[in-house]
Amino acid sequence: MSVFCKIKLRPEVEEYLQATFKSAKLISAVGPLEVEKKYERLLNNLSHPPAFTTVRVNTHLASVEHIRSLLSEEICKQYKGFSVPLLQHPKLPDILLIPIIGPRKDLQELTNQVIVGAQCGNAVLRGAHVYAPGIISTSKFMKAGDLVSVYSDIEGKCKRGAKEFLGTKVFLGNGISEVGRSDIFNANGPLKGLGVKMMEPIYLSPSFDNVLSSYIFLQNLPSSVVSYVLNPQPGEKILDMCAAPGGKTTHLATLMHDEGEVIAIDKTADKVKKISQNAALLKLNCIKTFCYDSTKALATDQTECGRGGPPFLRESFDRILLDAPCSGMGQRPNMAYSWSLKEVTSYQPLQRKLFRVAVQLLKPGGILIYSTCTITLSENEEQVAWALQTFPCLQLQSQEPHVGGEGMMGAGLSPAQLKQLQRFDPSDAVLQGMDVNSLQSFKYEDMIKLANKDCIGFFIAKFIKV
């Protein structure tokens, strides 16, 4: 069975979400029918990719217009002569938006089939090819060079090496097998490298493998908003507490014209290495990376203070970004979210521990941004309410640019406070799909509005320490 369905959740996680998105307060405010429609849109939209691929130009090395021209040529080449508009965001000047074509309804499903895991399937929906480790099953006689249809096993029920799979699966498009079945499932262990080159993906978006690597960075739209809201200035000392993989870190350094100091911390060595690699690739020199646990980044006295690195003395930073570890329920596309309720609700204590450290490390008059890529009330608005009650020195601030929606009611924040927050809510978008013809009829303003709404789920709060 091939279906394109709403996100698959564990029953207790869906009940938890319903308690937030179908609360009595929301029903009282907008009515039961609207609440039900928004909730169903949320589950449906989470399983689909956003309407645009978002590319951030490294303005440290090149102008947006120059890179836009080079990207247009590259995409036209990939799309075999067909051109799509590359839109510069009016409030995020280094951001280019590339419309995603799809879902395409003219594709024919083939006899030869390749089944991939849900995570691999999500990547394919965002424009990736299929790599061999993600392949779970293939047709019995599949060989290199065969045309194949690729499907995602969203329930995780396909057995590795199976020659046929009749369970629930989602059609992702067609491609050419780069390796045969016998190579994929050999006795020497999992094969590496490209498994299927996607030629007709159900959602068409450009591949950026080895494309302008030093000049562009793939980044979801709300993630790029964060750096603008923090508004780092040249010469300042900035802390990115949970920095991997370095997208926001490098954006901050770029906005500062590579002048000042951006301290990037993550507790996983491989992730820290990735931040350093990204900084080097983008030729940014003001970034210093450290493998460290940010919950322990506060030094109690001068003797504990690290040499240029953590732990730090109180009031060491002009601005701090706490892009906190979270349940990640805003990521798109996500056809199958496998976490338990215990895992989903486990992040609030860690986020508060990090927040306490951030407040103490921030200078008076400094700015603190708290952000997550999740949609839960407990990790977002409830954390803001807790912070304002716990730290009298903090005041909530309005955000600029403000391209998302306002915060969600239910955490005890006032209407004025909710307007100071940015919540990017996937349920705000009505999925309409794009094809070659509809692209020509869209107005620029309408496409920007769509890009602001049809993106990942995300949350941003801005505080000043007085």
Q: Where are the alpha helices (DSSP H) in 3-96?
A: 11-21, 24-30, 32-46, 64-78
Strand segments (E) across 224-339: 237-240, 261-266, 287-291, 317-323
Residues 6+ apart with CB under 8 A from 69: none
Residue 294, phi then psi, degrees to nearest 5: -65, -20
CA–CA distance, 153 with 136 (Å, rounded to integer):
9
Strand partners, 115: 137, 151
Contact 465, 318 (CB under 8 A): no
Contact 99, 84 (CB under 8 A): yes
CA atoms within 13 A on the CB side of 262: 32
CA 392 vs. chain centroid, Å, equals: 32
Strand partners, 201: 173
Contact 102, 202 (CB under 8 A): yes
Cis before 349 (ω within 30): no
Q: Which residue in 158, 242, 286, 373 is the catalytic one?
A: 373
Rounded to 5 degrees, what angle do the CA atoms 228, 230, 232 make? 85
- Closest Cα partner for 201 from 103, 86, 78, 115? 103
3-class DSSP state of 132: helix
Strand partners, 204: 101
Q: Where are the alpha helices (DSSP H) in 179-268?
A: 181-184, 221-230, 247-255
Residue 335 identity (one-letter amino acid) = M
CA–CA distance, 172 with 219 (Å, rounded to integer):
22
Strand partners, 240: 264, 321
Q: How is residue 146 annotated by DSSP?
A: -
Known catalytic residue: 286? no
Catalytic residues: 373
